[in-house]
Amino acid sequence: MVATLTSLLDGVIDYAGLFPPAQLEMSHSLANYFRYLQGSDAWVLGRFVCPAARLGELSTALNSYTGAPELPVTVVGESTGSLEDWHRVLEQDANSMSDFVDATDGLAAIESFEIKIPGHRHIGACVKDLKSFEEVDVFVELPWGEGIHDSLAALAESEWLCAKARTGGATADAFPPASELAAFLHGAVSLDLGFKLTAGLHHPLPRVDRETGARMHGFLNVLAACGFALSEDMSRSEIEDLLLTTTLENWRFEESQMKWCDSTLTIEDIEDSRDLFWTIGSCSVEEALGDLDALGLMAGGK
């Protein structure tokens, strides 16, 4: 694989094998993660994703391993629909995380926490409430729709919180249209706001999801879009055009630079963009790399 692609995808997949569509058992998911970590695919791997409610199960599974490396964990909090429930869940999640740290005794490290706000109108209160979690990286999942850009601005103003957006799911309406995703990417980059994306980004290029009939976004498209938005101040409409690109016809991947149409990213540009675009939550590593191989991108440039 050429250096630009390696840089673009370095550590990009937070492994979410516990979540749909894979929805593996804890032991199977954990075994997969350690297998990836010890194999040739380790370079693409980020953190192990675990719901806060299953941290006890994870600690039990971890304690059955001997000689395994420390597990980097990102904890996903419970989703709530009201501010009152949000306060209860935050306290519950904090207790679960504390118990997990005590139970694993160095076998794992909680590196980040992900939590969905109960609505954009509550963003100010939610930002204040998350102050107690500032010892780890915190990704605040924002619902799609009206108010999302004000919430992005509020997260950026905090100067330490990051954003999270969901790009797929079990139903067609869980996949945001390219115009909304383009606006999110443009807004985050304009605000110098770190973010991650999760769900639905299983393939390098867009395609129709057989299960839902929805149009899935491509992870190459979204990663490149962040780079071009940062290096070339790409507009929302230009980002949308890139997100809608379904073939490699207008792409070129070389050692020192990659191109889409007339736009160019250097390795330095890519590294700068990955400082903003942290990771993608995905339940499959083999699917992503297998698709890249099928496109001829694993062995060399195109």
Secondary structure (H, E, C), the chain: CCHHHHHHHCCCEEECCCCCCCCCCHHHHHHHHHHHHCCCCHHHEEEEEEEHHHHHHHHHHHCCCCCCCCEEEEEECCCCCCHHHHHHHHHHHHHHHHHHHHHHCCCEEEEEEEEECCCHHHHHHHHHHHHHHCCCEEEEECCCCCCHHHHHHHHHHHCCCEEEEECCCCCHHHCCCHHHHHHHHHHHHHCCCCEEEECCCCECCCEECCCCCCEECEHHHHHHHHHHHHHHCCCHHHHHHHHCCCCCCCEEECCCEEEECCEEEEHHHHHHHHCCEEEEEECCCHHHHHHHHHCCCCCCCC
Distance CA 234, CA 222 (A): 13
220 falls within a domain = yes
Mean pLDDT of 222-228: 98
51 falls within a domain = yes
Q: What is the pLDDT of residue 149?
A: 97
Give the count of alpha carbons within 13 A of 162, CB side only.
Answer: 19
Share of the chain above pLDDT 70, in %: 99
Distance CA 112, CA 109 (A): 9
Share of the chain above pLDDT 90, in %: 93
297 falls within a domain = no
Mean pLDDT of 213-220: 96
301 falls within a domain = no
Domain that holds residue 30: 3-292
299 falls within a domain = no
Asked if pLDDT for residue 302 goes beyond 60, the answer is no
300 falls within a domain = no
- Number of independent structural domains in the chain: 1
34 falls within a domain = yes
Mean pLDDT of 162-184: 97
| pLDDT tens readout for residues 237-265 | 999 999 999 999 999 999 999 999 999 99
Distance CA 187, CA 269 (A): 18
Asked if pLDDT for residue 301 goes beyond 60, the answer is no
Domain with residue 171: its CATH number is 3.20.20
181 falls within a domain = yes
| pLDDT tens readout for residues 25-78 | 999 999 999 999 999 999 999 999 999 999 999 999 999 888 889 999 999 999
Is there a contact between 182 and 151 (Cβ–Cβ < 8 Å)?
no
Looking up tokens 């990836």 gives 36
